[in-house]
């Protein structure tokens, strides 16, 4: 193929936004000639490369947009250490059908037991499966909603958040939430009720949520909506973060 003709084809592919095909076309032509590929195999190979490229790019974009503090996976979780967690249950959640059913997932347990790891793992899996995901700490979510309330854009902010198929709210209960924040959180939960999935992590049992929101009635209303369609995972193990520290202290004592 003449160089000018090749460049023209590459230019046309780029106009069609088939950037990967345009990039690999020269090398692929050489490979096709060496292997004596037929026209159908040649075209199929190019298309598969383009699909693979766009899929990978889409996943990277979704992971970046989700704003995870770090990337975690279920494969990296030590189920042998946290024996109170059912691996089968987590693998079932990882099929993500709860998102299609617009159900919620709630991880409860003391600090350091892996709640955030598991929440992020499901979020990453969702991104890889082409769902839109957003990760927020409870404090950041309340701050965003409070800011939009002050700007009189709360309705628009709730509508923007509703576009995500899955929202992860981390660390409910670590910091107190005032009355305004509690009311805003209730509105957030209500806006997603039976419309989109939420994953929540909390170090407080449900019986103590009245303390978090400083209002037992409001806490009950929040839990009523959250738990109506929810998968609750209660973790009762020891802290991962203290595990290695304990080993080091024991080693030093010997």
The tally of domains found in the chain comes to 2
Q: Does 246 fall in a domain? A: no
pTM of the model: 0.87
Measuring CA to CA, which residue among 33, 3, 9, 5 is closest to residue 21? 9
CB-count exposure of residue 172 (10 Å: 0-12, 13-18, 19+): buried
**Do 113 and 235 form a contact (C-beta atoms < 8 A)?**
yes
First to last CA, the chain: 74
**Do 118 and 237 form a contact (C-beta atoms < 8 A)?**
no
Residue where one domain finishes, among candidates 45, 64, 83: 64
Are 31 and 151 in a shared domain? no
Residues spanned by the domain of 206: 74-237
> Higher model confidence: residue 3 or residue 183?
183
Are 106 and 211 in a shared domain? yes
pLDDT above 80 (res 248): no
Q: Does 248 fall in a domain? A: no
Are 140 and 168 in a shared domain? yes
- 66-121 pLDDT, tens digit per residue, is 999 999 999 999 999 888 899 999 999 999 999 999 999 999 999 999 999 999 99
- 43-70 pLDDT, tens digit per residue, is 999 999 999 999 999 999 999 999 999 9
């Amino acid at each position: 193929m003449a160089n000018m003709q090749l460049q023209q084809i590459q230019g046309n592919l780029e106009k069609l936004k088939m950037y990967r095909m345009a990039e690999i076309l020269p090398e692929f032509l050489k490979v096709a000639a060496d292997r004596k590929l037929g026209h159908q195999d040649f075209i199929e190979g190019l298309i598969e490369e383009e699909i693979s490229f766009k899929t990978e790019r889409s996943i990277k974009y979704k992971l970046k947009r989700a704003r995870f503090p770090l990337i975690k996976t279920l494969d990296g979780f030590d189920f042998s250490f946290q024996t109170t967690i059912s691996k089968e249950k987590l693998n079932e959640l990882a099929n993500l059908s709860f998102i299609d059913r617009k159900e919620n997932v709630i991880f409860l347990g003391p600090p350091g037991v892996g709640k955030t790891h598991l929440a992020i793992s499901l979020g990453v899996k969702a991104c890889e499966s082409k769902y839109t995901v957003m990760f927020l700490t409870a404090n950041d979510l309340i701050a965003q909603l409070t800011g939009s309330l002050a700007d009189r854009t709360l309705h628009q902010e709730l509508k923007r958040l509703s576009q995500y198929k899955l929202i992860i709210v981390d660390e409910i209960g670590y910091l107190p939430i005032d009355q305004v924040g509690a009311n805003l959180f209730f509105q957030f939960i209500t806006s997603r009720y039976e419309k989109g999935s939420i994953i929540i992590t909390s170090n407080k049992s449900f019986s103590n949520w009245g303390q978090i929101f400083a209002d037992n009635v409001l806490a009950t209303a929040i839990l009523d909506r959250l738990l109506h369609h929810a998968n609750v995972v209660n973790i009762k193990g020891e802290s991962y973060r203290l595990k290695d520290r304990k080993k080091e202290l024991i080693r030093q004592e010997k």
